[in-house]
Homo-oligomer: A and B are copies of this chain.
Amino acid sequence: MRFSPLVEQLMDAFRVLPGVGPKTAQRMAMHVLEREREGGQRLSATLAEAIEAVGYCQRCRTLTEAELCALCQSPRRDETLLCVVESPADQLAIEEAGGFRGRYFVLHGHLSPIDGIGPEAIGLEQLESLVAQAHVHEIVLATNPTVEGEATAHYIATQLAAYGVTFSRLAYGVPMGGELEYVDGGTLSRAFNGRLPFASE
């Protein structure tokens, strides 16, 4: 015995969500049908509406249902500073850390020739025209500290070299609050080579 066709379809459909295997999908379908039909209807409607309406901000490419996202509309953000990130989630993480008052540009991925992801797929033409139009002085290349993220950062810096912009990259080093014993070797040697003068006062 399995469940009825429609219940089975619902379980299958839940598996599109990240980290949801057959057992969790079954639990979700049962939970919604047994106890949360109202919430399930809300989820169904919101999901359809968001997929239909949410696109990319015309300026920074973050996810938004408006033409320009709230951050691009805000006059209080410094437009001379531009932070390039791989995803909206990275952008949120930087915003929540606080301290950065500039604007963003979201790539939605990184260069990956093997997967056919070239410069146009991550919006580099749009980034170039943004830099050409706006008064950007510094671009923080906050792509991930991975091989692909590094390569993407290098590519962007090379492509936009003609605009006389300063490029920077997030500092590498040991994470705050961590224990040295558990930091991986690559990070540790990088932090060692990049050691800073210590001010005792």
Contact with B along A18-31 (1 / 0, CB 8 A): 11000010111111
Copies in the complex: 2
Contacts of A18 in B (CB 8 A): 27-28, 31
Q: Number of A residues whose C-beta is below 8 Å from B?
A: 57
The A interface is mostly helix, strand or loop, or mixed, namely helix
Judge whether A7 and B43 touch: CB under 8 Å: no
Judge whether B13 and A53 touch: CB under 8 Å: no
Contacts of A27 in B (CB 8 A): 18-19, 89
Bound CA–CA A36/B20 (angstroms)? 14
With both beta carbons as reference points, the residue of chain B lying nearest to A18 in the complex is identified as B31
Judge whether A64 and B32 touch: CB under 8 Å: no
Q: Tell yes or no: A173 within 8 A of B by CB.
A: no
Judge whether B63 and A3 touch: CB under 8 Å: yes
Q: Tell yes or no: A152 within 8 A of B by CB.
A: no
Bound CA–CA A63/B31 (angstroms)? 12
Contacts of A31 in B (CB 8 A): 17-18
